[in-house]
Amino acid sequence: MELEKRVEAFAQLGRILRETFGDETRKISSPGSEPVKKLLEEADRAQQYNGWFTPDFVSRALYALGESLETEKLQQWLSVYDKKRLEPVNPKTVGVVMAGNVPAVGFHDFLSVLISGHRIQARLSSEDNKLMPAIAAVLKEIEPGFANYIAFTEEILKGFDAIIATGSNNTSRYFEYYFGKYPNIIRKNRNGVAVLTGQETDDQLRALADDVFLYYGLGCRNVAKLYVPENYDFEHLLRIFAEKKEITQNHKYFNNYEYNKAIFLVNKRPHLDTGNLLLVEDEKMVSPVAVLHYEYYSSDTGLRNHLMVNTDQIQCVVTDAAFLKNTVPFGKSQSPELWDYADGVDTLKFLIAL
């Protein structure tokens, strides 16, 4: 397939995802072809095999993918690369180890491999092994030429030329051991952080609540830590966060909330409690489920330097603060653009160079 056909196919996939998961009435009345119906069924029953994958969060994830696949965005993404390099004479097979923390979280790697003209052999997480094959079936119906370029497995990857693997800091050591001899991208733990100035509006704080609570905070782009100015008044923030009462309806989340609250009480650790989230002062970037870390900063310059030193632990910085660059607006941490690469590693540049 020529690049233009690949782009057109993904643009059509994006339109289908937006139409299927963006409006409840249209989703029910016009589910589309058999592969689209199958995708809708898998989305609706995803929580049966992963308790974190509620129908609402799955729909939001798939709709966000659809928004990223608008034709103009695809063209903008690819415009900085040499188009000739996106037409490989000898396509390679790229093994992709997909995570399962967020619905269809491996989609960007899936897109990148195929848009670069290579074949993908994806190892699915047992936590999310239905959505990606269902999405791929829709894509193959749009453009049958992809059929020989897509393979899924839950077994050991074999016969690949390069590897992209996403996991924890622990699994990354195994990835480096097994895959180190191949061209590779190996990703580790990262999280989003947010910087507050104390001047945020209600709307901005409600958007921040989405950055914290969406997907129960399990995504690498979820905000897991706040930086607040000295003497910051938490009352306004806590009131906004407490509005997200529905988050505790998920028993897995609520169990984590109660467990961590008990630990803090037993250890007499000072914390703030909104009834659905625990905020605790902590230097660590990663926080447990239902817990949000915070840390005070005393100067703009000091915070900039601190974030720079810890850049290898940060996926994105959410803020409206003018003194920071390359940041994400409130509410947009889980809606990255195609060029917002995980861990700051240009996946497409890596694939083009194979």
| pLDDT the model gives residue 29 | 47
- Structure tokens given for 97: 């180890």
Q: What is the pLDDT of residues 237-254, one digit of tens each?
A: 999 999 999 999 999 999
- Amino acid identity for residue 232 in this structure: Y
Q: What is the pLDDT of residues 253-286, one digit of tens each?
A: 999 999 999 999 999 999 999 999 999 999 999 9
CB 118 within 8 A of CB 92: yes
Q: How much of the chain is helix, strand and coil, in % rounded to 5? A: 50, 15, 35
| pLDDT the model gives residue 206 | 98
Distance, in Å, from the CA atom of 302 to the CA atom of 311, rounded to the nearest integer, reads 14
Q: Which of 21-35, 142-156, 186-200 has the lowest mean pLDDT?
A: 21-35
| Residue-wise DSSP of 235-256 | HHHHHHHHT-GGGGGSHHHHHH
Contacts for 81-86: CB closer than 8 Å, 24+ residues apart: 81/348, 81/349, 81/352, 82/352, 83/3, 85/352, 86/3, 86/115, 86/116, 86/117, 86/352
Distance of CA 348 to the CA centre of its chain: 17
Q: What is the pLDDT of residues 299-312, one digit of tens each?
A: 999 999 999 999 99
- Higher pLDDT: 130 or 156? It is 130
- Structure tokens given for 146: 């992809």
| pLDDT the model gives residue 1 | 87
Taking the whole predicted model, whether its pTM rises above 0.75 is answered as yes
Q: Give me the domains of the chain, ranges plus CATH numbers.
A: 3-188 (3.40.605.10), 191-319 (3.40.309.10)
| pLDDT the model gives residue 191 | 95
CB 66 within 8 A of CB 21: yes
Q: Which of 31-45, 180-194, 217-231, 295-309 has the lowest mean pLDDT?
A: 31-45
Give the β-pairing of 162-166 and 223-229. Answer: unpaired
Mean pLDDT of the chain: 95
| Percent of the chain whose predicted confidence (pLDDT) is above 70 | 97
Q: What is the pLDDT of residues 62-98, one digit of tens each?
A: 999 999 999 999 999 999 999 999 999 999 999 999 9
Contacts of residue 269, defined as CB under 8 A and 6 or more positions apart, other chains included, come to 263, 280
| pLDDT the model gives residue 27 | 53
| pLDDT the model gives residue 123 | 96
Give the 3-state secondary structure of 17-51.
HHHHHCCHHHHHHCCCCHHHHHHHHHHHCHHHCCC
Mean predicted confidence (pLDDT) in 152-168? 92
Distance, in Å, from the CA atom of 121 to the CA atom of 61, rounded to the nearest integer, reads 22
Q: What is the pLDDT of residues 19-66, one digit of tens each?
A: 999 865 445 445 578 999 999 999 999 999 999 999 999 999 999 999
From 115, 137, 133, select the one nearest 123 (Cα to Cα): 133
| pLDDT the model gives residue 31 | 58
